[in-house]
């Protein structure tokens, strides 16, 4: 009878090891997808920037003067002949009006100016310009016409 108990104990020991390995496998299988789902890349830090803005509604021209603060690299780009905002975005009352041209350095730094010429429905009285740093989704400045 003693021999038989030893055999049973050996079988229990094998199944306990198997159970521990199985539990570790389940824990890893559950935790890896959770880590992937909740491990988001760090967000872009906000910029500290001072802008001076002038708008000539008769000409549909916006002047954005970078007074001081952080640089905004790739503020805009030319894509297939169209001017598009990249890391800086200018919205007018929540919309993005058509841009005829943007002059100024694409890397918007202290002391530089961007000259934006609008076409089509140009912003008018009552419009609100919002200047947004897109990587951090940060409102830099708001300007009412």
pLDDT digits (tens, 9 = 90+) for 72-116: 999 999 999 899 999 999 999 888 888 999 999 999 999 999 999
**Rounded distance, CA 105 to CA 113, Å?**
8
What's the N-to-C CA distance of the chain in angstroms?
97
Q: Choose between 14 and 18: higher pLDDT.
A: 18
CA distance 61 to 39: 44
- Nearest C-alpha neighbor of 69 from the set 110, 108, 105: 110
Cβ proximity of 63 and 129 under 8 Å: no
Residue 10 has what pLDDT?
55
- Cβ-contact 103, 115 below 8 angstroms: yes
Closest CA to 87 of 139, 140, 129, 133: 133
* Residue 39 reports pLDDT greater than 80: no
- CATH architecture designation of domain 49-144: Sandwich (2.60)
Which residues 6+ apart lie within 8 Å of 22 measured at CB? Answer: none
H or E stretch at 83 = strand 82-85
pLDDT at 9: 54
């Amino acid at each position: 009878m003693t021999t038989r108990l030893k055999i049973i104990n050996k079988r229990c020991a094998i199944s306990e090891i198997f159970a521990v390995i199985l539990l570790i496998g389940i824990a890893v299988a559950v935790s890896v997808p959770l880590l992937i789902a909740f491990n988001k890349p760090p967000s872009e830090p906000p910029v500290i920037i001072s802008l001076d803005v002038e708008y000539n509604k008769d000409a549909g021209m916006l002047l954005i003067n970078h007074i001081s603060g952080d640089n905004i690299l790739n503020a805009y780009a030319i894509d297939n002949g169209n001017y598009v905002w990249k890391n800086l975005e200018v919205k007018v009352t929540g919309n993005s009006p058509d841009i005829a041209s943007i002059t100024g350095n694409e890397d918007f730094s202290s002391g530089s100016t961007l000259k934006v010429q609008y076409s089509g429905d140009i912003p008018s009285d009552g419009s609100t310009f919002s200047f947004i740093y897109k990587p951090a989704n940060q409102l830099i400045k708001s300007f009412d016409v």
